[in-house]
Structure 1
Amino acid sequence: MSKQADSALAQMRRTHEERILSLLRKQGALSRRELGVQSGLSRTTLHDIISGLAASGTVVSTAQDSAPRGRGRPAESVTLNPAAGQAVGIDFARQHVHVAIVNVAHEIIGSADEAHPADLPWPRRAELAERLIARLTESAVTMGSLTGIGVGVVGPGTGHEETARRIEAVKLHLRTRFGVPVLVDNNTRLAALGESVWGSAEGHQNVVYLRLSHGVGGGLILGGSLHRGAHGISGEFGHITVDPDGPDCLCGGRGCLETVASVNAVTTAYQEAGGRPGGFPALLAAVEDGEPQARELLARVGALTGQVLAGVCNVVGPQLVVIGGELAHFGDAFLHPVEAGLRAHAMPAALHDLRVRAATLGDAGAALGAIALVLHESPLLARYPTEPVPEERACS
């Protein structure tokens, strides 16, 4: 066979290998039958490609314990070798640092978080992230196989240029410390991505995600893709006005949803109404105890939140609304008023088959979304920029 023919065959084999690897990166473990259907390769070619990838240690096969079995060998799944690489996600929230680690087989290895004062300097936040990574890697991960780090930061606000410089310094610090690429994006948008890859929105093509924490923001999955906006500004639901005569907001507006539905806002409202001392944990306990005053507060806040979501749903027509952040910890005491407010204000057509549910990834959601960003292999990122936040537009 000529060298030219050999080269063509080698190129065809590499194309087939990349087709299989791409499917496994995007979807995790798949059976050989699923790989055959989705790749379009013949059984003989597929067997040859998988055998070669397995021999090189790139993929591994595992028995599907839950699959129906007939006579002969048990059904098998093929997945990327978990030892082939890991990615780290860091969420620099307003008062917490969250870290998560995932391997290339889409298995969550571990997560950790630690609270800090809201005014903690950025170098100290980076040091805290390093300590959390070290805590996880001591028992779970070989850092020599680290492929990248994704970082989530809170959305646009005051001190834009100065904060952008600080974030760039943190990126440089992490890149120098670990020797891998570092990508930065809005953390609520990354939380939406995390829930769509690993959490309660998995498999849905049109999702509105709202996180109610110390800040209020969200993310949009539209037509199976994460939506970023023309200038990286999307999902800022916390800055939709709910009360024109309400308090001033950090964004420069008045009566934004964030002034009503953030952790600090609901805690302050509860205290001003004569509630128990003890901050947010006290409010959680009061709701669990069925205290009327606490539940009435949640009903009011939930109704306003639902009103904002109704406007969003009228515009984008999602299949699913996911509520995350600390306010989701109230469960049905909060989610039911949110859904009632949504249904009272949305167009009937926008409510068709629409469901509202709580996020399932908790505090690790944005960190996991940051990992998906680094891997850049989810179908949700097919049309997403490879460098989401240019230096001049980094979030605060």
Structure 2
Amino acid sequence: MTDTCLAIDIGGTKILVALVQGSTVLARQVMSTEPSADPQSWIEHAYSLSRPWAGQYQRVAAAVTGIVTAGKWTTLNPRTLAIKNDFPLQQALHQRLQCPALALNDAQAAAWAEYRFGAGQHRDLVFITVSTGVGGGMVLNGSLRQGQTGIAGHFGQWRDMAGTRFEDSVSGRWFAQAAAAATGREHDARSVFTAAAAGAAWAESLIDTSARRVAMLCGNIQHAFDPDLILLGGGIGLAPGFLDRVRAHADAPRFAPSLARAQLGDEAGVLGAADWSSVDQ
């Protein structure tokens, strides 16, 4: 029997459930996440979406926003999803789906997928997703680095000397706040990029500021880990022209990171979780 995994990606805006074999998503279903619900409800929603594939998979793997430590799930940013500390995610998945289960952070799963099937091509890499917040993952010497508590790669939580989180100065939430301050109107990251394309100087300035700060982060990562490649993903990281701006602000050539776009899009989490579940036995 060909090894097949039921992979689940639970994020702040959507739940993606997929039937995965190797690097192929055979089928997928998506629904909106209800932020006011709880993890058991999200698992039940995922189970309902997977019913047409009953009997077609041998294990389940979940990629989730937040921290996963020894199979237990804890929120990192309650504004994304509010989860009580140490929810027994792997145990709950096993009990509901009646098969072996594994869980890990979604950005770590995406990093592994890009290493195995995407832009990484089995090279040492750091993956950074710049979206509503900022997350990340690292694959070094062929190993996904999760750390003692599961927080490895959470670059958005790095603090400056004033104690400000990095993600609070570059992410979608920052774009919304900075754009509102500049214009007196409500905005999100998408509308800022649209305004910049139409020639709005304030929007151009915000995008360049975010790119300059991301370039600084990439330079610091290069000095800390010296990976072969740093990949940018997420709605902002993959926005037209953003990577070019980051490159323009990068360090001098000798120490400049090798930057590239992530390739696997919104399926990176399910592909990475499914594959990692076959490796991390």
Fold match (TM-score > 0.5): yes
SS in 1 for 2:260: strand
Verify the 8 A CA contact 2:4 2:19 in the aligned structure 1: yes
Aligned match for 1:220, one of 113, 125, 138: 138
Distance in structure 1 (CA, Å) of the matches to 2:260 and 2:125: 11
Q: 1:153 aligns with which of 34, 46, 64?
A: 64
Residues 1:290 and 1:319: Cα distance change in structure 2 (over 3 Å):
farther
1:90, 1:151 within 8 Å by CA — same for their partners in 2? yes
Query: Within the alignment, does 1:264 sit opposite 2:173 as a pair?
Result: yes
Using the alignment, how far apart are the partners of 1:273 and 1:286 within structure 2?
A: 12
Question: Structure 1 residues 158, 276: closer, same or farther in 2, change over 3 A?
Answer: closer
CA contact (8 A) 1:276 1:282 kept: no
Aligned residue for 2:112?
A: 193
1:286 to 1:110, Cα distance in 2 relative to 1, 3 A: farther
Distance (whole Å) between structure 2 residues aligned to residue 115 and residue 295 of structure 1: 31
Amino acid in structure 2 at the alignment position of 1:274:
T
Q: Which amino acid aligns with 2:85?
A: T
Aligned to 1:312: 221
Q: Secondary structure at the match of 1:343?
A: coil
- When normalised by structure 1's length, the TM-score is 0.62
- Larger deviation: 281-290 or 153-162? 153-162
Distance 1:132 1:285, change over 3 A: farther
Residue 234 of structure 1: how far off its partner (Å):
0.9
Query: What letter is aligned with 2:263?
Result: T
Distance in 1 (CA, whole Å) between partners of 2:34 and 2:14 is 8
Distance 1:233 1:109, change over 3 A: same
- Following superposition, the deviation at residue 117 of structure 1 comes to 4.4
- Is the CA contact (8 Å cut-off) linking 1:276 and 1:283 kept in structure 2? no
**Number of the residue aligned with 2:71:** none
The aligned counterpart of 1:162 is 84
CA distance in 2, matches of 1:234, 1:162: 20
Shift of 1:290: 4.2
Aligned equivalents of 1:287, 1:367: Cα separation in 2: 33
**CA gap 1:291/1:158 in 2 versus in 1, 3 angstroms:** closer
**Aligned ranges 1:181-330 → 2 under 5 Å:** 181-201=100-120, 203-242=121-160, 244-245=161-162, 254-274=163-183, 277=186, 279-330=188-239
Counterpart position of 1:94:
12
Gaps spanning 5+ residues in structure 2: where? 68-75
- 1:356/1:316 CA distance change after superposition, 3 Å: same
Q: 2:248 aligns with which of 340, 349, 352?
A: 340
Q: CA deviation at 1:205?
A: 1.8
Q: Quick check: 1:368 aligned with 2:276? A: no
SS at match of 2:85: helix
Question: Partners in 1 of 2:18 and 2:172 — Cα distance?
Answer: 23
Counterpart code for 1:285 = T
- Structure-2 change in CA distance of 1:329 and 1:286 (3 Å): farther
Cα drift, residue 124 of structure 1 = 2.5
* Per-residue deviation, residues 5-56 of structure 1 (Å, max 9, x unmatched): xxxxxxxxxxxxxxxxxxxxxxxxxxxxxxxxxxxxxxxxxxxxxxxxxxxx
After superposition, the Cα gap between the structure-2 partners of 1:237 and 1:335, relative to the gap in structure 1 and judged at 3 Å, is same
Alignment: residue pair count: 270
> What SS is found at the alignment partner of 1:364?
helix
In the alignment, the residues of structure 2 paired with residue 119 and residue 310 of structure 1 have an alpha-carbon distance, to the nearest angstrom, of: 38
* Displacement of 1:359: 1.4
1:123 to 40, 44, 51: 40
Cα gap change, 1:276/1:111 in structure 2, threshold over 3 Å: closer, same or farther? farther
Once the two structures are superposed, what CA deviation does each residue of 1:231-271 show, in whole Å capped at 9, x if it has no partner? 323112112234x34xxxxxxxx222111122212122112
TM-fit CA distance, 1:161: 9.1
2: CA distance between counterparts of 1:263 and 1:158?
14
Unaligned segments of structure 1, at least 5 residues: 1-57, 59-83, 246-253, 377-384, 387-396
Q: How far does residue 310 in structure 1 lie from its aligned partner after superposition? A: 0.5
- The two structures, once aligned, show a CA RMSD in angstroms of 2.5
Q: How far apart are the structure 2 equivalents of 1:322 and 1:290?
A: 28
2:109–2:273 Cα contact (<8 Å) kept: yes
Aligned counterparts of 2:106 and 2:189: Cα–Cα separation in 1 = 22
**Rg (Cα) greater in structure:** 1
SS of aligned partner of 1:152: strand
